Amino acid sequence: MAIDSIRQMTVEEYIAFDEASEYKNEYIDGEIIPMTGGTLYHAIIMANASGELRQLLKRSDCRVISSDMRNRVSPTRYLYPDFCVVCGSAATDERAVTLWNPALVGEVTSPSSIDRDRGEKRRFYQSIASLQIYLVIDQFQAQVEVDTRQDDSWQTEEYAGLDAVIPLPALDCDLPLAEIYAGIEL
């Protein structure tokens, strides 16, 4: 979840500020966007999706990365997804605190973030050359929007209901919505 931005900074100032901060901050073209905490359902859904992907990918060269890892989407844009997956070697900055090559990025919506997750963040993430899948997971109903890279374009599909299963061919697995929403009263 994001709150209003606070001031303009250079990339170098942002990185120093973010690393010294008690909370995470996103950075878009000079603008700092402090991130707030999430709800219980947000946290459960993040953990469920990450945990299920971890199980599905445990025999592959892909790893699930928590929301603590900053992602560089361009030289002037840095975001903190709710979770991501990297396959093969992780490309990072010299201190391994910023990931450059996610294969999958997942965001769990909240009332304050849903428009940004479906709009601006979607466009920013899709600009990452390595990204194959972008998940927008609804916090209040069993519904996931899945953007999949198809050559030079993106295809969006929606999966709804606890019986739905999301095919993730780029990761050679399928992600059941029942696992994402386990323990959630919808």
- The pLDDT tens digits along the chain (186 residues) read 444 455 689 999 999 999 999 889 999 999 998 887 788 999 999 999 999 999 999 999 999 999 889 999 999 999 999 999 999 998 887 778 889 999 999 999 888 778 788 888 999 999 999 999 999 999 999 999 999 999 889 999 999 999 999 999 999 999 999 999 999 998
Domains and CATH numbers, the chain: 38-180 (3.90.1570.10)
State the chain's maximal CA–CA distance in angstroms: 47
Candidates 143, 144, 119, 109; CA nearest to 2 is 109
Tokens of 99: 């990931």
User: What order of strands is seen across the sheet that includes strand 70-74?
Assistant: 31-34, 25-28, 77-79, 70-74, 98-99
